[in-house]
Amino acid sequence: MTEQQQKWVLACIDGSKHTTAVCDYAAWISKGIDKPVKLLHNLEHRENLATADLSGSIGLGSQEHLLEELTELEAQRSKLELKKGKLMLEAAKERVEQAGITEPKVSQRHGSLVESLIDLEDAIQVLVLGIRGEAHSHDDSHLGAHLESAVRALHRPILVVNAEFSVPERIMLAYDGSDAANKALDTLVSTPIFKGMPCHLVFAGGHEQPAKGKLSEAERQLSAAGFEVTVATVDGKCDEALFNYSQKYNIDLTIMGAYSHTRFRELLLGSFTTKMLLKMNKPVLLLR
């Protein structure tokens, strides 16, 4: 298989507080599904300082000289950002190698992260990225600037990392019978890394009654795949109820479908996926 045909566990590196955990989870997944690791650092294009309209701020005689200096500073900043990214990739590569990954690849790209991920989608087996990037790493009230766009754009499993790495021992499938939830179920059943873990199959339908046939079929598939299954339903607001359940039963990783409702419904009611990502304090594996 050529490198172009290879499927990767792709880890996005940006220097945020979640970067080391992203590396650790990528290494764990890589070993569990026998796929190599690729580490990606994306350099976002920023507005060039030299393009600003300074005509009303400085004298005409000074403007040309200042623009030359700004252009030089911008070039220096770009070189520093490039070097910083390469150093981060080197550190990330060393970390995954220490975790037992042989010959991880590194990649540095320019432009929009989402555009880069769309370009790489065919080669992604699992995408691993932090819940927030470096610029917003301490803002717990919002998702990272590109996270929702990336999840909506890609049709690959995406592990959203929001905590330090620990080997998952108990998993929860947040299930509502939707197509996205069934895709999450299929992924769980077919992924060897989860084999042997206790699995909590939790119906997350708010005030709706669980479709007993679908829930029973999900339980049957999990049991047939060798999981020790605990089935539960939760009352109240879905995100709060699932979070409380995960806390009560020490869930290490939640698996769920993502953005399965229309934009119009999400505009009226808010996005369940976004609420879950903001609420949970352990990683979430999303499927679309």
State the CB neighbour count (10 A cutoff) for residue 194: 23
**Strand-pair category, 158-161 with 284-287:** antiparallel
Of 134, 165, 196, the position where a domain reaches its end is 165
The verdict on 136 and 192 lying in the same domain is no
* Residue pLDDT, tens place only, 209-238: 666 788 899 999 999 999 999 999 998 888
In a domain, 63, yes or no: no
Report CA Rg, the chain.
22
Contact 233, 269 (CB under 8 A): no
Give the total number of structural domains in the chain: 2
The verdict on 26 and 138 lying in the same domain is yes
The verdict on 117 and 195 lying in the same domain is no
What strands, in cross-sheet order, belong to the sheet with 198-203?
105-110, 37-43, 8-12, 124-130, 158-161, 284-287, 253-257, 171-175, 198-203, 228-233
Of 165, 186, 209, the position where a domain reaches its end is 165
83 sits in which H/E element: helix 60-98
Low-confidence ranges of the chain (pLDDT < 70): 1-4, 45-63, 133-142, 205-211, 260-270
Q: How far are the Cα atoms of 181, 201, 206 from residue 213, in angstroms, in the given order?
A: 14, 14, 18
In a domain, 65, yes or no: no
The verdict on 94 and 148 lying in the same domain is yes
In a domain, 64, yes or no: no
The verdict on 94 and 152 lying in the same domain is yes
In a domain, 41, yes or no: yes
Structure tokens at 76: 């220096």
In a domain, 268, yes or no: yes
For CA atoms 252, 131, 39, 255, the dihedral sign is positive
DSSP code of 210?
Answer: P
The verdict on 7 and 150 lying in the same domain is yes
Structure tokens at 144: 């990272």
Q: Could you list the residue range(s) of the whole structural domain that residue 212 is in? A: 167-288
Task: Give the span between the Cα atoms of 81 and 47, in whole angstroms.
Answer: 14
The verdict on 150 and 180 lying in the same domain is no
Of 149, 165, 181, the position where a domain reaches its end is 165
pTM: 0.85
State the CB neighbour count (10 A cutoff) for residue 267: 9
The verdict on 153 and 208 lying in the same domain is no
The verdict on 188 and 98 lying in the same domain is no
Task: Give the span between the Cα atoms of 246 and 172, in whole angstroms.
Answer: 8
Task: Give the span between the Cα atoms of 203 and 234, in whole angstroms.
Answer: 6
In a domain, 110, yes or no: yes
The verdict on 42 and 177 lying in the same domain is no
Exposed/middle/buried for residue 172 (C-beta within 10 Å: 0-12, 13-18, 19+) = buried
* Residue 9 three-state SS: strand
Residues 6 or more apart whose CB falls under 8 angstroms from that of 252 comprise 166, 167, 168, 169, 170, 171, 282, 283
CATH number at residue 196: 3.40.50.620
In a domain, 119, yes or no: yes
The verdict on 130 and 195 lying in the same domain is no
- Residue 107: the pLDDT is 96
The verdict on 199 and 96 lying in the same domain is no
In a domain, 68, yes or no: no
* Residue pLDDT, tens place only, 190-214: 999 999 899 999 997 655 666 678 8
Contact 132, 16 (CB under 8 A): yes
Structure tokens at 70: 């700004």
Task: Give the span between the Cα atoms of 133 and 143, in whole angstroms.
Answer: 9
